Amino acid sequence: MKGSVGPVLAILAVLVAVWYAAAVPMNVKEVLTQAERDGAVIEPGSAAERRDVGRWALVFSNVENLGATWSSERSRLPAPHQVVAELWKSTWVEETTGRRGIVRSGSLSNRSLVYHGGVTLGATALGFVIGALAGVLLAVGIVYSRVMDMSVMPWAIISQTIPIVALAPMIIVVLYSIGLPGLFAKAVISAYLSFFPVVVGMVKGLRAPDHMQLDLMRTYSASKSDTFWKLRLPASVPYLFASLKIGIAASLVGAIVGELPVQRGGLGARMLGGSYYGQTEQIWAALFVAALMAAFLVWFIGWLERRTLRAMGVQA
């Protein structure tokens, strides 16, 4: 991917420009209503009439009153710099100067994205580790037991085709009602979302050695465990990491969705809260933190993959 830095930056610049341009018509109605209240002359003259006019028409007939579309408090689409400002405000500023911030109170503020991001990250990580370990174990069972293979594998594959995340709210509510802590309930969802991709990928990986390689092990009279540790497991590593990347992204989605039914912190709760109270900037900021977290988690798995492969002597 050498030589793609320039084009990527160019495309990103275009996206930001489109974002700014879109913010004008998206926010025009609210901004004009506010401007009218402040005494400006708006064309057409009442909010009721404006409701029936297209956004672009409003933009062109009120060019001099558009200033606030990039700075409005309650915008439908906040401009990029507003989102960045919100991000800054709800992380660094909140923690260093806020009444509940870590500097003044000694613990992370429950109004800061550092805290909510941490809540989500904890559930994601715990669930992912459980789900991945269980997935690898089941895959080993499937590869070595014909009954398990034939009984479980078709269901594991079918489970990939159905939206199992629909179970999330129910699991949360049930686990809450029997008194399990929220972190654990969310981790359960993260775990089962990452579980199935890991099972399917790992089974594929453990079966990756071809007949010739397996026959070679047989000519050495290798035991089952020798074949597993010296052939199947090393051969499965690339498949394992590919499915771990899918699994950790799914774990994060699971944790976020798991935070929706019971509002006790986390990025999902921030998004839903922002949606209730019309705080668009809050939604966008939470979304950006979730995106950064996903990018970091996938990068982290990729980093582990590169290190592991290098340790195994593969030219990555």
Partner 1 sequence: MTLVIAALVIWAAAWALNVRLAARGQGLLVPLIFGLTIIVVWQLLVRGLGVDKVILPAPTEVAVTFWENLPILWADFVQTILKGALGGYIMGVIAALVVAVLVDRYGFLQRGLMPIANFMAALPIVGVAPIMVMWFGFDWQSKAAVVVIMVFFPMLVNTVAGLADTTAMQRDLMRTYGASYLQTLFRLRLPAALPFIFNGLKIAATLSLVGAIVAEFFGSPTVGLGFRINASLGQLSLDMVWAVIVVAALAGSLFYGLLTLAERALTFWHPSQRSQRH
Contacting residues toward partner 1, per CB under 8 A: 1, 3-4, 6-8, 10-12, 26, 76-77, 146-147, 149-155, 158, 160-163, 165-167, 169-170, 173-174, 177-178, 245, 249, 252-253, 256-257, 260-261, 267, 271-272, 274-275, 278, 280, 283-284, 286-287, 290-291, 294-295, 298
DSSP state of 181: -
Nearer to partner 1, 50 or 245 (CB): 245
| Minimum distance from residue 104 beta carbon to partner 1 (Å) | 30
Task: Report the chain's C-alpha Rg in angstroms.
Answer: 26
Cα angle value 88/91/94 (rounded, 5°) = 100
The distance from CA 309 to its chain's CA centroid, rounded to whole angstroms, is 26
Q: Which residues contact 2 (CB under 8 A, 6 or more apart)?
A: none
| Minimum distance from residue 99 beta carbon to partner 1 (Å) | 27
Nearer to partner 1, 44 or 184 (CB): 184
d(C-alpha 211, C-alpha 67), whole Å = 70
Q: Which residues contact 156 (CB under 8 A, 6 or more apart)?
A: 138, 196, 199, 200
**Of the candidates 184, 86, 84, 202, which has an alpha carbon nearest to the alpha carbon of residue 143?**
202
Nearer to partner 1, 10 or 40 (CB): 10
Nearer to partner 1, 53 or 260 (CB): 260
| Minimum distance from residue 225 beta carbon to partner 1 (Å) | 22
Q: Which residues contact 147 (CB under 8 A, 6 or more apart)?
A: none
Nearer to partner 1, 101 or 205 (CB): 205
d(C-alpha 23, C-alpha 17), whole Å = 10
Structure tokens at 307: 């290190």
Phi-psi region of 266 (alpha: psi -120 to 50; beta: other; left: phi over 0): left
d(C-alpha 96, C-alpha 277), whole Å = 25
Residue 195 CB coordination number (10 Å): 26
| Minimum distance from residue 162 beta carbon to partner 1 (Å) | 4
Nearer to partner 1, 183 or 290 (CB): 290
d(C-alpha 104, C-alpha 112), whole Å = 14
| Minimum distance from residue 122 beta carbon to partner 1 (Å) | 16
Nearer to partner 1, 161 or 225 (CB): 161
| Minimum distance from residue 101 beta carbon to partner 1 (Å) | 25
What's the Cα-to-Cα distance from 166 to each of 170, 268, 283, rounded to whole Å? 8, 15, 22
| Minimum distance from residue 220 beta carbon to partner 1 (Å) | 27
| Minimum distance from residue 189 beta carbon to partner 1 (Å) | 12
Find out whether 263 and 274 touch, Cβ atoms under 8 Å.
Answer: no
| Minimum distance from residue 161 beta carbon to partner 1 (Å) | 4
**Of the candidates 33, 257, 34, which has an alpha carbon nearest to the alpha carbon of residue 44?**
33
Nearer to partner 1, 5 or 48 (CB): 5
Nearer to partner 1, 54 or 278 (CB): 278
